[in-house]
Amino acid sequence: MPTPASAGDEHGVEPMLATLTREPFSRPGWLFERKLDGVRALAVRDGGRTRLFSRTHKPMGASYPEIVDALEVVADGDFATDGEIVAFDGDQTSFAMLQKRIHQTNPVLIRSSGVAVFYYVFDMLSWDGHDMRRLPLRDRKTILREAIDFADPLRYSAHRDDDGAQMYADACARGWEGVIAKRADSAYRGGRSPDWLKFKCVRDQDVVIGGFTDPGGSRSALGALLVGYHDDSGLRYAGKVGTGFDEATLRRLRDLLGPLEQPASPFVDQVREKGAHWVAAQVVAQVGFAEWTTAGRLRHPTYRGLRDDRSATDVVREAPAGGS
């Protein structure tokens, strides 16, 4: 098994992912953490060199140099951590606010963006040459808290030991994303796991952009995004997203999607949209929505931003697990 120090290579560590569940709960032997509205990030310091990677192993350090700088001096020895990079809009973590930093690597433009970012660390994968992924989560978090000298922009992801249902109610009342429940004795295993569960206060879904429509009225660049998700039959059409954009975002999307145009639809469904332009199914976005229709379409979807930390081929319809 590769060591956490190799995270970010093509054979690096696969992040552990939470499974959506139907009902929040309070249960002995579980920890409960705030669900953050940001991007996942693995941090690795190996031989004095510090790097940041997305969950798909893309380098992220150029976009968040202040986090890399902070990680250089927080502890003695090498380590690998897992966490979430966030930006705030008032008291709320905001994926939309983070969009101003996600694709930016120019130091001058990063400083002029005015968007401060923070790295909330919730797991320690290795420490001083020791692979810690087989240790219980509670032990890993204890070592994490003791090993890292936390100060902004680095923050420890605190947890509660009980009353997850009440924490979920409080989270929704405060306008948070939700709560992550984790088995306190669980090892760190890559991929989607029933040992980590998420209770969402808001409904969102990652989608693959398969096309766009011509603009109408006073709108420029494009009208709506045509989006979908993968299942066993291919890329299924999930509807069009026509809200949540400002003019600058519409122009950026058109510039991004223009070179990807192709003559054929990437969807396995027949899509009847006037003025449709088809694109290679490579770009992932996040949308908020009200509910799924019986036909498998998103009802009232709203654009939230692009995700460069997910592979388009991994995007499926997120459905809650039963029995939790």
Does residue 8 register a pLDDT over 50? no
Categorize the per-residue pLDDT at 125 as very low, low, confident or very high, splitting at 50, 70 and 90.
Answer: very high
Categorize the per-residue pLDDT at 322 as very low, low, confident or very high, splitting at 50, 70 and 90.
Answer: low
Categorize the per-residue pLDDT at 7 as very low, low, confident or very high, splitting at 50, 70 and 90.
Answer: very low
Query: What's the whole-number mean pLDDT along residues 125-153?
Result: 95
Buried b (16+ CB within 10 A) or exposed e, 280-305: ebebbbbbbbeebeeeebbeebbbbb
Please give the DSSP secondary-structure letter assigned to residue 133.
T
Does residue 10 register a pLDDT over 70? no
Does residue 182 register a pLDDT over 90? yes
> What proportion of the chain, given as a percentage, has pLDDT over 90?
72
pLDDT in tens, 104-124: 888 888 888 889 999 999 999
How many residues are listed for the chain in this entry? 324
Q: What is the pTM of this model?
A: 0.82
Alpha-carbon span 243 to 285, nearest angstrom: 13
Strand partners for 228: 208, 237
Question: Could you tell me which residue, 181 or 294, shows the higher pLDDT?
Answer: 181
Q: For the chain, list the domains and their CATH numbers.
A: 4-21+33-160 (3.30.470.30), 204-314 (2.40.50.140)
Nearest alpha carbon to residue 151 among 37, 72, 257: 72
Query: What's the whole-number mean pLDDT along residues 195-216?
Result: 94
Question: Could you tell me which residue, 205 or 111, shows the higher pLDDT?
Answer: 205
Does residue 1 register a pLDDT over 70? no
Q: What angle do CA 170, 184, 124 make, to 5 degrees?
A: 100
Question: Could you tell me which residue, 220 or 199, shows the higher pLDDT?
Answer: 199
Reply yes or no: is the peptide bond before residue 107 cis, omega within 30 of 0: no
Alpha-carbon span 323 to 144, nearest angstrom: 32
pLDDT at residue 323 in the model: 41
Categorize the per-residue pLDDT at 3 as very low, low, confident or very high, splitting at 50, 70 and 90.
Answer: very low
Dihedral sign, CA of 303, 305, 307, 312? positive
pLDDT in tens, 70-102: 999 888 889 999 999 999 998 899 998 998 888
Q: Given the DSSP bridges, would you call strands 117-127 and 154-156 parallel, antiparallel or unpaired?
A: parallel
Does residue 203 register a pLDDT over 80? yes
pLDDT in tens, 27-43: 999 999 999 999 999 99
Please provide the average confidence, as pLDDT, over all residues in the chain.
Answer: 90
Report, as residue numbers or ranges, the catalytic residues.
35
